[in-house]
Structure 1
Amino acid sequence: MKKILIAIFGLTLTFGNLNAQEDNMSAPNFSKMDSSPMDLALYRDTNEEPVARVIYSRPQRRDREVFGKLVPYGEVWRTGANEATELTLYKDMQVAGEKIPQGTYTLYTIPNENEWTVILNRKTLTWGAYEYSSEQDLVRINVPVRKAPNDIEALSMAFQESGNGADLLIGWDDSYVKVPFEPTM
């Protein structure tokens, strides 16, 4: 009888340990909050139909010198952190007079002190600007740098209605740029 009780006790411990290990293995392993969280800006027309969407990661300033230091002047920038910023146009649009067909593009910029070059590039799903190739550029436009009325702690993007379309505002630290979008005629 003693042997049977010991065998039952041993089996109970064995199955109990297996169940505990299984529970630990199936527990979700969620990552920590990213220090540059992903965000999006969406532009809808007057009928509430989506026109354009930007998906980007929002690096924080954290008392760092941003433009000219953290983001060097004169170099292609992913316009955010982590994956390169992605722009989806749900309709054919004009960007500063250049016709852009609906589709998804990578939005790169080349910041300079007084002007940024804004680039829409055909290669998508890229990390940073490491795979950037000017051969894939669809359009490049230059836009003036503007002084922000308030300091902007995290890189921010928003669409603002303007005339016949909307401007994509890209701001960080003490400055921002406007990228004009209009429907094609």
Structure 2
Amino acid sequence: MKLFNSCLIVFLIAFSTSAQDFSDIDKSPMDAVITRNQDNSPLARIIYSRPKKKDRVIFGELVPFNKIWRTGANEATEITFYEDVLFNGTEVEAGTYSLYTIPEKDKWTLIINEKINTWGAYSYDKSLDILRTAVPVKSTAASVEDFSITFKSTRVGSDLLMGWDDTFVEVPVRKVE
């Protein structure tokens, strides 16, 4: 019986060690952020993947200037508006879209595109753009290791913030009244 128990313990330890192997975990994990109206109803949600800086030069090298970017890693970033909004002052109907960007040194062009469920920007189709808008680039107070998207609540809606490395942009998102 002692031998059986000893063998069982060795088996369980070996099994639990191999069952905990996370070596194939996504290097740019998926994340989601949501912003809500004052009545707690959802206004917008973003699903995206978060690549890491890893001592690389990001904007201008890893993410080239003046080229379409999926705004993260893996699949194109997805944005859902639960009601009609003003996105940087331009009205966008409720729905789910892809969010692309074109980073430049002093501004980013943000693109809301009708085609969803796409990998990267490889099948980006400019004819499906419903909005293009530019916002100025700002400098972060400290380097951001993981590409990050969040919403900051304001008195009249939310501001969408996207940042990585030493750069971020801010875009007002407001409920259409």
Q: TM (normalized to structure 1)?
A: 0.82
Residue 173 of structure 1: CA displacement? 0.1
Q: Alpha-carbon deviations, 1:14-72, whole Å to 9, x = none?
A: xxxxxxxxxxxxx9xx8821000000111011221111000000000000000000000
RMSD: 1.5
2:156 maps to what in 1? 164
- Superposed, which structure 2 residues align to 1:50-61 within 5 Å? 50-61=42-53
2:6 maps to what in 1? none
Identity, % of aligned pairs? 48
- The residue type paired with residue 105 of structure 1 is Y
Structure 2 residue runs of 5 or longer lacking an equivalent are 1-18
- The residue type paired with residue 62 of structure 1 is K
Question: What is the rounded CA distance, in whole Å, between the counterparts of 2:175 and 2:34 in structure 1?
Answer: 15
Q: TM (normalized to structure 2)?
A: 0.86
Match 2:110 to one of 118, 121, 130: 118
Question: What is the rounded CA distance, in whole Å, between the counterparts of 2:87 and 2:43 in structure 1?
Answer: 13
Aligned length: 158
Match 2:120 to one of 121, 128, 138: 128
Question: What is the rounded CA distance, in whole Å, between the counterparts of 1:80 and 1:96 in structure 2?
Answer: 20
Match 1:66 to one of 52, 58, 71: 58
Match 1:44 to one of 1, 14, 36: 36
Match 2:100 to one of 102, 105, 108: 108
Moved over 2 A (4+): none
Structure 1 residue runs of 5 or longer lacking an equivalent are 1-26
Residue 177 of structure 1: CA displacement? 0.1
